Structure 1
C-alpha cells in the first residue's frame, strides 16, 4: 500500500490501536504489520443539503439508495455501510471503503447521476467515489470533496468542501469550492464486534486501560473509542450544535435593483412585478423577501450556505398579450465564507432558463458569523453585479455595478425567532405606472425613478449613463427590444425598436 503523506490527527485511533496490538504487534517491524485491518464502519454524508432540495423540488426528482446505502427520512443524508480498510499505526492514516450506491434522477431535466464505491482517506483529506452521469462511462475514484482534518477524538461532523469535479458532476460550477454537508465515519455500537486485531493484553498501561478500547467488550477501533469514551468532555457535546449544523429556517430580503423595479412598473415598460412561491414584495413597489431557508452554517469557520424559497417575475412591454420583458429569478442561494461570498439564482428570460447563475458578489460588514438567540443576522450586505449577472441582463448593467443591499437572517433551531421587518409585505404585484414615472416635472433625480438627472453622456456609453440615472434597460431580458438613450432636458427617453428575430 503506498505510503501516504504524514498528517497529525488528534485521533483516539492511535491509543486504541496501540492497545489492541499489544506487545506482539509492536514487536513486528514490517510495513504491513503497521496497518491494522478495520471493518464494520459506516459513512454518513448528504453531499449538500441544497442540492438534495434542488433535486427533489425544482428538478422534480428524487434519490434512490441501493447496494447497502440508505437515505434518512425527509430527503435526509445518506449512509454507506460495510466500511473496511486499514489504520496505519506509524502515520496514523485511516483509509476506508464503503458499500452503497446513490442515484439522483430528475423528471423535469432528465438527468441521472450515480455515485458508488465511496472511499475516505484521512491522510489525503479526501472523499472519492465512482461516478456515472446519464448512463455514460464510469469515472473511478473521483475526488468529490476535501475533508477537514479531525480536531477532536472522533471522526464525526468533519467539514467538507466540494471540488470542481463535484460541481461538474452535479451540474453546476457554483458547487465547486462550496461547503458540502459534514461527514462522519464511525463504527456503530450495535456492530462493535471485535475486528481482526489482536485482543488487548492485561499489561496495558493505565492510560490505555482507561480507554474503552482496552476492554474486551468494546471494539479497538478509532470510532468506537470516541463514541463511548469517558474522556469526551461534556462541553464538546453541548457546544457543537451551537456552532455548526443545519439551518432550521430563515429569510432573505433583497430588492434586486430599485431603479429596475421602478422602470418595470413605470410608464415606459407599463409592466408588473409578482412574487410567488414563498416570496413577497413590500408595499410601494418595495423590496422582496424570500423565505423557507435551508442549508448549513459553521460559526467557528464563519461559513454559511442558505437556499431560499420563492420566485420574482418582472413583466413589461406588452403587445397583444405578449411581453417583451419577462424575467424571473428563483432558487436564490447565498453563500458566505469569512464575510465574502456569492448570490446565485435560476434565471428565466422569455422562457429560456439558466440555472445557478452567480448574479452578485457579496460582502458583509464583518467576517464573523455570530449567533444571538440561535439566529444569525446580517444586514446591509453589499451586492455587486458579476459578469454572469450582467450577461443575464443583456450587458446593459456593467459588471461591478452596485445592486440593492441584502439582509439575511437564519434560525439555527426550530424554536428560534427570526427578526421582523420594519416594512409590511404585500402580495407581490406591482402596479402599472405610478412609482416609476418618466419625465417628472421636478427633475430631482430621485433614486429609483426613471426621471433622474442625467450626469453622464448618453451617446455611446449606454451602460455608464444608465447606471448614473437608475434607468437601465436589460436587452436580453427585454428580448424583443433594443435600448437607445438620448438626453432630453433632465429626463431620459427610451426609443424602442422591435427586433425581427427572436433572441434569448
Structure 2
C-alpha cells in the first residue's frame, strides 16, 4: 500500500494543484509530446533538505554529547545544519497532479551518554499525502514508512512548513514534539531532464509553456480543468508569477494582526509541572498553551514593518504564569511565581530582541530584554500579505540572566521563536484554528505530559527559575536515565534550599 493510500488527507487537492504548477511543464517535456497524456511520469535527480528540528540537533550534539552521521548519499550542512538526501526518484501523477519521491541516504543519530541510537533511511516525500516518511531503526528494530512530518505543500516546494507527528515524537523521544513545528523542508531537482525542445503539444487538461531552461522552476500556464480550476486557472496571457500579490502591499506600514509562538524553554515547562516543583502553568490575556504542556501563543500583534529596510517591531497580547514549590515561600505561598507578559519582538536585517514585562514574587520589571534573536534570513518578505519568521534562535542576554536570578548564564539557548504578522486586515495567519491551545487555561502537575526528569535545577531569586541554565532546549524525556533524573531532582533541591537561606538572611 502506498503512502498516498495510507495517509491521504483533505488538503491533498490543494497540494496537488500547487505541485502541478511546478512539475507539470517539466514532466511533460521529459516525456515528449507523444506521451504527454500518461498518468505516471517518471522523475529523477531530486534532492530533499530537512533538518528535523533545530533544537533537537542542538540537544543531540550538546547535552546528549551525541553525533549525527550521514552516509550513503546523505550529507549534513556545516555548523550542525540540516540534512540533504540525494538522487530522489519517483513519479509525477499527471492526472492528480501529485509527486511521490524516494531519496538515497542514511542518517545515524547516536548518544552513548543518553543511551540511544536511531537510524533513518529511505526518506520519502509524498505531496498527495503531504508528508515526509522514513524507515526507522531503533533498539534494533526497523519500522518502514514511519510518518515523521506533515508538510504544507507549496508551489515551489522550497522552505515548506513542517509539523512533527506523534510518530516523530516517539522516534525522537519527546512527547512535546507531537504537533510542534519542525524545520522547513525543500525539494528541488538538481539534475534537470534533457530535452532540446521543451514545448509539448497541448492536451485537454493543461497547456504547458516552458522557458528555454527545462527546470522545475519554469513558468506553467494551465487552462481550466476539473483539477486546477479552483486555484490555478489562467488564460495564456495571464501571469503565473506568485510574487505579484506582494507588490500590492506597501513596503512599510502598520501591522494589522499577528501571533508569536514561544515555549520559553521545554525543560523548564517540564520542571514546573513535574514531581520536583509540583506546580502549574497558566495563560491569560489572550495567550494560550498548546496541548501536552506545549509552547505558548501570544496574539493580537500591533506594530510596524518595513520590508525595504527589513525591519519589524511587534507587540503581542497575553501572559504566561509559572508557579511551583507551593508552601515554600513566605506565608506559605509559592517559592516560584513568575509571569511573563506583553512580549515584544524586533528584527532588523535578521537580528533583534525579545522583551517582556517580568513579574516575580510580586515584583514587576517592565521591558526586560530577555533574549537576542537571530532569524534564518536577513530578508523580511511578505507572502499573501503575511511576514513569517520561523525557528528564530533566542539566546539569553546578560539582562535576561539577571532578570532570571543569575541562575542562567548569558548565551544560554532558549526555545526558538516563531512569529507571523499580517500586513492587511484580511490576511490569513497560519495556524489560526489553535486547536491545541487553551486561552486562559492551565497545565498542572497532575496533567503535565512531560515528567520531572527534564526539570531544571533551581528555584527563583529576584524573579526567575534557576534550572534552565544547564538544561537543553526541548530535551527529550526518554533520553534521560534514572541516574540523570535523580541528579536533576537533587540539584533542584539544593538550589531551592540555597534560595531559602538567602531569603531568610
TM-score, reference length from structure 1: 0.51
C-alpha contact (below 8 Å) 1:302/1:369 kept by paired residues: no
**Which deviations, in whole Å up to 9, do the C-alpha atoms of 1:189-226 show, x marking residues without a partner?**
xx22438xx96457569x967423xx4x534xxx3436
Paired residue secondary structure (1:51): helix
1:175 to 150, 155, 177: 177
Report the CA distance between 1:63 and its aligned residue. Answer: 1.3
Q: 1:17 matched to which residue of 2?
A: 27
1:341 aligns with 2:276: no
Output the CA distance in 1 between the equivalents of 2:42 and 2:169. Answer: 33
Greater relative contact order, per chain length (Cα 8 Å cut-off, separation 6+): 2
The 5-angstrom pairing of residues 76-475 of structure 1 reads 76-133=81-138, 135-150=139-154, 152=155, 154-188=156-190, 191-194=191-194, 200=198, 210-212=209-211, 215=212, 218-219=214-215, 223-225=216-218, 232=241, 302=259, 304-305=261-262, 340-341=288-289, 358=293, 362=296, 364-366=298-300, 374-375=311-312, 377-378=314-315, 381-384=318-321, 403-406=338-341, 408-410=343-345, 412=347, 416-418=351-353, 422=367, 425=399
Residue matched to 1:7: 13
8 Å CA contact 1:67–1:99 kept in 2: the answer is yes
Q: Distance in 2 between matches of 1:95 and 1:368?
A: 41
Deviations 1:401-438 (A, max 9, x none): 9851246455556653437775694757969xxxxxxx
**Deviation at residue 14 of structure 1 after TM alignment:** 2.6
Identify unmatched segments of 5+ residues in structure 2.
221-238, 356-365, 370-398, 407-462, 464-488, 495-505
- Cα distance in 2 for partners of 1:368, 1:68 equals 46
Aligned partners of 1:145 and 1:160 also within 8 Å? yes
Aligned residues: 322
The question of 1:75 aligning with 2:61 is answered: no
**For the structure 1 residues 16 and 156, does the alpha-carbon distance in structure 2 shift closer, same or farther, using more than 3 Å as the test?**
same
CA separation in 2, counterparts of 1:411 and 1:384? 23
**How far off its partner does 1:128 sit?**
0.3
Q: Following the alignment from structure 1 to structure 2, what is the Cα–Cα distance between the partners of residues 236 and 178? A: 30
Separation in 1 of the partners of 2:129 and 2:120?
20
Tell whether the 8 Å contact from 1:374 to 1:416 is kept in structure 2 after alignment: no
Counterpart residue number, 2:471? none
Q: Which residue of 1 aligns with 2:419?
A: none
What is the rounded CA distance, in whole Å, between the counterparts of 1:326 and 1:428 in structure 2? 22
Judge conservation of contact 2:259–2:297 (CA < 8 Å) in 1.
no
Q: Is the 8 A contact 1:364 1:381 kept in 2?
A: yes
Counterparts of 2:295 and 2:199, CA distance in 1: 59
